[in-house]
Amino acid sequence: MTRISQRTLAIAAALVFVGAFIAANAHLITVAILSQPDCTLASAAAAAKPAC
């Protein structure tokens, strides 16, 4: 394997890893907000409900 192809493969793998990491975090945030929308902060910045 040439140096250029190794570098290209490493960069591609890093981009895939970063993309998967961002997608997983976005999914976790989406699920957290949709599962208990009343527990998110309101515009008045009140404290979260004790049940959260």
What does the pLDDT look like over 1-42, one tens digit per residue? 788 899 999 999 999 999 999 999 999 999 988 887 666 665
- The two tokens of residue 39 are 């527990």
- pLDDT attached to residue 10: 96
> What are the boundaries of each domain within the chain?
3-37
- pLDDT attached to residue 33: 80
CA distance 52 to 39: 6
Q: Classify the phi-psi angles of 47: left when phi > 0, otherwise alpha if psi is within -120 to 50, otherwise beta.
A: beta
CA distance 52 to 50: 5
CA distance 21 to 27: 10
